[in-house]
Amino acid sequence: MRIFVTGGAGYIGSICVEELLNAGHQVTVFDNLTEGHRSAIDPRADFAQGDLLDPQGLQAALRAAGAEAVMHFAANALVGESMSNPTKYFRNNVTGGMHLLEAMNECGVKKIVFSSTCATFGTPERVPIDETLPQRPINPYGESKLIFEQMLRWYDEIHGIKSVALRYFNAAGASARFGEDHRIETHLIPNVLKVALGQKPNVSIFGTDYETPDGTCVRDYIHILDLAQAHMLALGREASAKYNLGTGGGTSVREIITACERVTGRKIEVLEQPRRSGDPARLIASSERIHSELGWAPKFQAIDPIIESAWAWHLRHPNGYGD
Ligand code: UFG
């Protein structure tokens, strides 16, 4: 298929593009390069530099790509930043997303796979989190993604655009070529690996008094290649759907740090800090629905191989993409 990938120069987008190309699809990456990196774009893909907030440019790029489907990764995705600058999140994630749906409608593109998030659930009543739990975001980032999920319903009912929303839990790891390099790095695993590389003296542990076995937050880390595989399967689904996407396993912050010490063979100094605002104690996915409906199952369950792939990439790219 010919696929138009917004945010294809970012961490998750770049690796999904690589997997799409490996599977024989044709890809046009659409990215404004504010968060993404030029060298994270697979050279086999076409590249259209542009912004979701420029509806004419967006529509022209989508038409020129001759796309049959869209994968929508482009978004701002920092929970903390969204709490201080909600406008940025609603403008880029909601208004920008609406321009994309409008452009799809104008160009007759009837399929979208959307990069959603477990942050649409807020603090869950129970874990694992399945699709029947209420979505009650606790920050503008999660809200902006939920609003887009809700818009998808109406673009299906009114314009027949079919969508699959994938709510990722904690994406982690790397492919052989592409990895995680955020301009502002807030995520746990890359920050721990920066300590292992000697680029930071220590890593903060945000909160040691959670109601979890070791007092630190528990997350469901899913390998980026498993996540990419789910996108591939989502392309083949005809009806609209929403799926939670994780391994169903939970790893605490301390367990991540210990695993990074094991994988890198280096000591990681830690600094115990107060809780970070907006962090739920435990986020674990139930991926039963995507398993039963699309046959998806993660190849990576244990945390060490996920960290090994991230470490291999960081060793080869100690300064990330260098831009
Ligand atoms: N953490 C630390 N030290 C750090 C960085 C993170 O202790 O230096 C902790 C966090 O407090 C959290 C856990 O490690 O408990 C994981 O944090 P990340 O920032 O790596 O990931 P989050 O779980 O906060 O974020 C993920 C996705 C978001 C999504 C969010 C939903 O990256 O896109 O889950 O809560 F919105």
For the stretch 197-222, pLDDT in tens is: 999 999 999 999 999 999 999 999 99
- Asked whether the predicted pLDDT for residue 102 surpasses 90, the reply is yes
Token digits of residue 115: 């990069």
Reference 27, options 40, 42, 49; nearest CA is: 42
234 Cβ below 6 A of ligand 1: no
Would you state the CATH architecture of domain 2-171+221-244? 3-Layer(aba) Sandwich (3.40)
| Of 11, 89, 141, 210, catalytic | 141
How does residue 232 score in pLDDT terms, banded at 50, 70 and 90? very high
Give the residue extent of every domain in the chain.
2-171+221-244, 172-219+249-285+299-316
Please report, in angstroms and rounded to a whole number, the separation of the first and last CA atoms in the chain. Answer: 31
What's the pLDDT tens digit per position in 69-88? Answer: 999 999 999 988 999 999 99
pTM above 0.95, yes or no: yes
pLDDT at residue 136, as a whole number: 96
Tell me the C-alpha to C-alpha distance, in Å, between residue 46 and each of 104, 222, 254, 321.
18, 28, 41, 19
Q: How confident is the model at residue 188 (pLDDT cuts 50, 70, 90)?
A: very high
Closest residue to atom 18 of ligand 1, CA basis:
187
Integer-rounded Cα Rg, in Å, for the chain is 19
For the question of residue 155 being annotated catalytic, the response is no
CB distance 282 to ligand 1 below 6 Å: no
Q: Is the peptide bond before 305 cis (omega within 30 degrees of 0)?
A: no
CATH topology of domain 172-219+249-285+299-316: UDP-galactose 4-epimerase; domain 1 (3.90.25)
Rounded distance from Cα 235 to ligand 1 centre (Å): 28
